[in-house]
């Protein structure tokens, strides 16, 4: 991807008297190299306007829900921190960028999105920690309360990309601590959104869920000795 450097080369190419002899051509090349290097975009298609892929779950697989035409296309990747083609340009602080991107996305229907859309094939992508391109990506921890368990746990929603991966991980996490055979147990998940309403898995598309989930509650129906005592 190229930044359009539309410069006229005529009157302003004063070479320096110091013998380093910069001319704009050389200058342009250096710049382009540094943009590409900075953005790590050597192999990206021309049309894409996204510079950083989002992190996917540890499984690395994108969800089959992509096929639903009404759902925001999860293969179009947005990076909340970037709203421009060049890192840190225009110079706007990340909280404002985050807000502008949120506003931009919520105003536009996925199919009439401003600008060009791309389809990045479903490959696992990771955010490099500590690289020049990463800005601090805040994780999103939500509380998970399981029936009969005194301690509420916390899980980072941003590590997952589907209801299935989330629920599987939660079941695994709790099974470690409860003497409950997961095969025998019927788990029921409900999610509380920011407005306080409770939803079932799949009620809203994953992307929207991931932005607005506030709390998770798990009830279970199992044949372990503890619950037998309760009922």
Partner 1 sequence: MDLRLPSKVLEHILSFVDSNEDRNSVSLVCKSWFETERRTRKRVIVRNCYAVTPEAVARRFPEMRSLTLKGKPHFADYNLVPDGWGGYAWPWIEAMAVKCPSLEELRLKRMVVTDECLEKIAASFKDFKVLVLTSCEGFSTDGLAAIAVACSNLRELELRECIVEDLGGDWLSYFPETLTSLVSLDFSCLDSEVKLSDLERLVSRSPNLKSLKLNRAVSLDALGSLLRLAPQLVELGTGSFSDKLDQEAVSKLSQAFSEMKELKSLSGLWDVLPEYIPLLYSVCPGLTSLNLSYATVQMPNLVELLTRCSNLQKLWVMDLIEDKGLEVVASSCKELRELRVFPSGAEGLNDTNVAMTEQGLVSVSEGCPNLESVLYFCVQFTNAAMITIARNRPNLKCFRLCVMEPFAPDHKTQKPLDEGFKAIVERCKDLQRLSVSGLLTDKAFEYIGTHGKKLRMLSIAFAGDSDLMLHHLLSGCESLNKLEIRDCPFGDTALLENAAKLETMRSLWMSSCCVSFGACKLLSQKMPKLNVEVIDEHPLETRPDSSPVERIYIYRTLAGPRLDMPEFVWTIQKNPEIGVSHLAIK
Out of 25, 126, 138, 172, which residue is the one contacting partner 1 (CB under 8 A)? Answer: 138
Q: Is 204 helix (H, G, I), strand (E, B) or coil?
A: coil
For residue 200, the minimal CB distance to partner 1 (Å) is 22
Residue 191 burial (10 A CB sphere; 0-12, 13-18, 19+): buried
For residue 96, the minimal CB distance to partner 1 (Å) is 7
Locus of tokens 């989930």: 213
- The DSSP bridge partners found for residue 102 are none
Q: Is 223 helix (H, G, I), strand (E, B) or coil?
A: coil
Residue 217 structure tokens: 């509650």
- φ/ψ bin of 187: left (φ > 0), alpha (ψ from -120 to 50), beta (otherwise): beta
Out of 124, 143, 172, 184, which residue is the one contacting partner 1 (CB under 8 A)? Answer: 143
Task: Give the residue from 51, 53, 42, 103 showing the smallest Cα distance to 77.
Answer: 53
Q: Binding segment for partner 1 among 15-23, 63-71, 163-171, 177-185 (CB under 8 A)?
A: 15-23
Please report which residue ranges of 40-152 form alpha helices under DSSP H.
94-107
Binding of partner 1 at residue 15 (CB under 8 A)?
A: yes
Q: Binding segment for partner 1 among 62-70, 134-142, 168-176, 197-205 (CB under 8 A)?
A: 134-142
Window 73-132: residues binding partner 1 (CB under 8 A) = 81, 83-96, 99-101, 103-105, 114-115, 129-132
Query: Which residues of this chain interact with partner 1, rule CB under 8 A?
Result: 3, 5-8, 12-18, 20, 22, 24, 27, 30-31, 34-35, 37-38, 49, 81, 83-96, 99-101, 103-105, 114-115, 129-136, 138-143, 154, 194, 214
């Amino acid at each position: 991807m190229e930044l359009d450097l539309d410069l006229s080369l005529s009157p302003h190419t004063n070479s320096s008297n110091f013998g380093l002899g910069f001319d704009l051509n050389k200058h342009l090349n250096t710049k382009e190299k540094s943009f590409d290097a900075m953005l790590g975009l050597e192999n990206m298609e021309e049309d894409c306007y996204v510079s950083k892929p989002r992190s996917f779950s540890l499984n690395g697989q994108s969800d089959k829900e992509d096929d639903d035409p009404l759902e925001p296309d999860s293969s179009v990747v947005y990076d909340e921190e970037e709203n421009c083609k060049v890192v840190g340009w225009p110079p706007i602080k990340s909280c404002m960028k985050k807000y502008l991107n949120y506003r931009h996305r919520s105003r536009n229907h996925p199919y009439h999105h401003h600008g060009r859309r791309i389809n990045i094939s479903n490959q696992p992508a990771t955010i490099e920690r500590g690289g020049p391109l990463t800005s601090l990506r805040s994780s999103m921890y939500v509380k998970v309360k399981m029936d009969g368990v005194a301690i509420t746990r916390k899980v980072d929603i941003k590590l997952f990309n589907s209801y299935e991966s989330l629920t599987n991980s939660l079941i695994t996490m709790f099974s470690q601590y409860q003497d409950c055979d997961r095969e025998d147990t019927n788990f029921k998940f409900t999610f509380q959104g920011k407005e306080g309403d409770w939803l079932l898995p799949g009620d809203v598309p994953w992307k929207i869920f991931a932005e607005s989930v506030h709390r998770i509650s798990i009830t279970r129906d199992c044949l372990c000795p503890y619950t037998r005592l309760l009922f």
